[in-house]
Structure 1
């Protein structure tokens, strides 16, 4: 958890749990509280100070599954892209050593 938001987690935990249960009802059973918390701290509140309690709860309740799934899957896409770039770089180095 990021420093400024550590105290907020306990206060917002009931709202996060409700949202997780909402997503489970919709069939997204793999969603965890940590996914929602990471989305909030890394995306929603990235460049702002911790919101007031009612703003934080509103942000949680207004979150939709599309936003969350995009957040969850984006790092893996970046890792795959980086892996392909690394592999290409290795091939270029090996090719230049062979020449």
Structure 2
């Protein structure tokens, strides 16, 4: 995994990351995780690195991630992935065809 200059802020940003992941899951985005959200932030949102960013600015960046932006990024990343033709594992197939829980 490539090192990003903001990796040093990861521990400080962890509560915001957890909060955002929980928010996404409330909106039925169950595939989001702290790692995938961090990947989005470091590869997309923080492409241009500021030398000494304010932690409050980074927290704001985390909390302002929109589901549509995140999902677009993950879809484009998946299309660019060299593993596009790789067969799914049994676990991935099970998850893919797992019935959705009704939220009624």
TM over 0.5: yes
CA RMSD, Structure 1 to Structure 2 (Å)? 2.0
Q: Higher helix proportion, which one?
A: 1
- What is the alpha-carbon distance in structure 1 between the residues aligned to residue 3 and residue 44 of structure 2? 12
Deviation at 1:6, TM superposition (A): 2.0
Structure 1: gaps of 5 or more residues: 84-99
| Aligned structure 1 segments of 4 or more residues deviating by more than 4 angstroms | none
1:1-99 to 2 correspondence within 5 Å?
2-49=3-50, 51-79=53-81
Normalising by structure 1, we get a TM-score of: 0.73
* Structure showing greater Rg: 1
Q: Between Structure 1 and Structure 2, how many residues are aligned?
A: 82
Deviations 1:47-75 (A, max 9, x none): 21363110011111111000100111112
